[in-house]
Structure 1
Amino acid sequence: MNRLKWWIVGAFLLVILMALSYTSILNSAGSNPERASVAETRTLSVDHKQKDIPVFFNKQGEKEDEDVETKLKEQANQILEVLADQNFKKLATFVHEEKELLYSPYVNVSESDLVFQPSEVGAFKQDTEKYIWGVESGSGYPIKLTPVEYHKEYVYQADYLNPDEVTFDRTKNRGNMVNNIKEFFPKAHIVEFYKEGQEEMDWSSLYVVFEQNKQGEWKLVALVNDEWTI
């Protein structure tokens, strides 16, 4: 019986000592900032990771831009294949439904340039009307051609499927005419196919211009020719 009594007393004292020890640890953490810093450091490390998240999203944004460039270069190549075959019905499927398709014989784009609906583009082979597409550089004579003739002389006038250079959103002047494509189409992406000539001034470029439609698809809004001008 005495052993049982001493065992109970010993257990009670052990519980009291453990309680006092735990209270002492808590008080020490509250008064000693170095010990409290363990919990605070964990909190700060979590906050730091959260602040790094926007940087991750910025990198994703850059990757998306790279994907757009790759996609539009591929799409522009498909359009070149269609132009080389004069498959205007297929070309019409690339044209922006609302903004339609603008043709400019030179890189200084203007409101006076001709614009065609997708259905009109699809019927170019059957269209024998001679339109005035602009005026010739130097002579000032009107560029009066049928759609098929214009494509031969001012759109697919070189082997752009085998270009000497392909650029994306580059609008620096190659010749002496001001390139205002980006100002005229501020929301556009532009793929340029450049072809060197046999002589210094015998070069040409075709700019394929894309803008998004309401569905977020990149559609063709302009085909712009560039060449040496006087």
Structure 2
Amino acid sequence: MNNVKKLLLLVLISVLLVLAACTNTTNEAPNNVPKQEEQPQPPRNEQPKESDPEDTPAEEEAPEEGTPPTALESAKTVITALERGDMSTVANWVSRDKGLRFSPYAYVDLKKDVHFSKDEVAGLMEDTTSYVWRAFPGNGELIEMPYSEYHQKFVYDADFINKGEISLNTVSGESTTLNNLNKVYPQESYAFVEYHISGIDPTVEGMDWRSLRLVFEKIGQDHALVGIIHDQWTP
């Protein structure tokens, strides 16, 4: 009987040793098998977050095609070129068909005012030819000089850009000379921009006022320079 008990005890111990060995084998991970990183999963009650449009740079839209410059915008470019004596830039604005007419005073004389084509305007500052630009009021003496001198006396003869009052289709300076601008250049087809300085020397009480009028032909929405009219106080 004692021998049977001993035999059963040995069998029980053997079984326990086998079970212990199996448990240790299962818990130990093989050294040669790489561990895989687990990918984080979004919570079940949340959807993957979409990118915020404000965080994403917006695609640049193609710029809209620009509209032609207005008369005021055209005049600003022309007056700036006149200040510099840049007649090549002025020529870019001159009408190919009508050219450019210069009037030293308010009255536009279609027969006597000097007229140049678009191509001729570009080289006026280098042109040494003396032209007759009409006559001085009062004494009737001819205004005869090359364009570069005329430019200083009857085009940009005052600081029109910095001191001039700008108006559209409105005459500010009124002299004793007849003003026929709207008759020669009717507003149905033309627009003009005036730069007016009411006075330069306070001691002469406004008798040295100056005006420069830039006349543009309306071509649809575009504008082409056709006339430069200088005006000033006359006795």
Unaligned runs of 5+ in 2: 1-66
Three-state SS of the structure 2 residue aligned to 1:157 is coil
Tell me how far apart the structure 1 counterparts of residues 164 and 115 of structure 2 sit (CA, whole Å): 29
CA drift of 1:165 comes to 1.4
Compare the two structures and name the one with the higher helix fraction.
1
Q: CA RMSD in A?
A: 1.9
- 1:179-227 CA distances to partner (integer Å, 9 max, x unpaired)? 11110011210100001221220110000000024x6521000000000
Three-state SS of the structure 1 residue aligned to 2:88 is helix
Is 1:206 the equivalent of 2:212? yes
- 1:85-127 CA distances to partner (integer Å, 9 max, x unpaired)? 1111111001011111000001110112111001100011221
Where does residue 89 of structure 1 map in the other structure? 88
Q: How many residues align?
A: 162
Three-state SS of the structure 1 residue aligned to 2:70 is helix
CA drift of 1:171 comes to 3.3
Tell me how far apart the structure 2 counterparts of residues 127 and 162 of structure 1 sit (CA, whole Å): 28
| Amino acid paired to 2:227 | A
Percentage of pairs with the same residue: 30
Is 1:146 the equivalent of 2:129? no
Is 1:124 the equivalent of 2:127? no
Three-state SS of the structure 2 residue aligned to 1:81 is helix
Task: Please say if residues 213 and 228 of structure 2, whose CA atoms lie closer than 8 Å, have aligned partners that are also in contact.
Answer: yes
| Amino acid paired to 1:142 | L
Tell me how far apart the structure 2 counterparts of residues 191 and 158 of structure 1 sit (CA, whole Å): 16
Three-state SS of the structure 2 residue aligned to 1:93 is helix
Tell me how far apart the structure 1 counterparts of residues 107 and 176 of structure 2 sit (CA, whole Å): 11
CA drift of 1:163 comes to 2.9
Tell me how far apart the structure 1 counterparts of residues 164 and 85 of structure 2 sit (CA, whole Å): 22
Where does residue 178 of structure 2 map in the other structure? 178
Where does residue 193 of structure 2 map in the other structure? 191
Where does residue 226 of structure 1 map in the other structure? 231
Calculate the TM-score normalised by the size of structure 1: 0.66
Where does residue 23 of structure 2 map in the other structure? none
CA drift of 1:151 comes to 0.7
- 1:44-91 CA distances to partner (integer Å, 9 max, x unpaired)? xxxxxxxxxxxxxxxxxxxxxxx99x8211211111110111111111
Q: Runs (4+) of structure 1 moved beyond 2 Å?
A: none
Tell me how far apart the structure 2 counterparts of residues 82 and 226 of structure 1 sit (CA, whole Å): 19
Tell me how far apart the structure 2 counterparts of residues 153 and 164 of structure 1 sit (CA, whole Å): 16
| Amino acid paired to 2:217 | E
CA drift of 1:172 comes to 6.2
Tell me how far apart the structure 1 counterparts of residues 76 and 148 of structure 2 sit (CA, whole Å): 20
Tell me how far apart the structure 2 counterparts of residues 163 and 132 of structure 1 sit (CA, whole Å): 30
Computing the radius of gyration over CA atoms, which structure comes out larger, 1 or 2? 2
Unaligned runs of 5+ in 1: 1-66
Where does residue 162 of structure 1 map in the other structure? 162
Calculate the TM-score normalised by the size of structure 2: 0.65
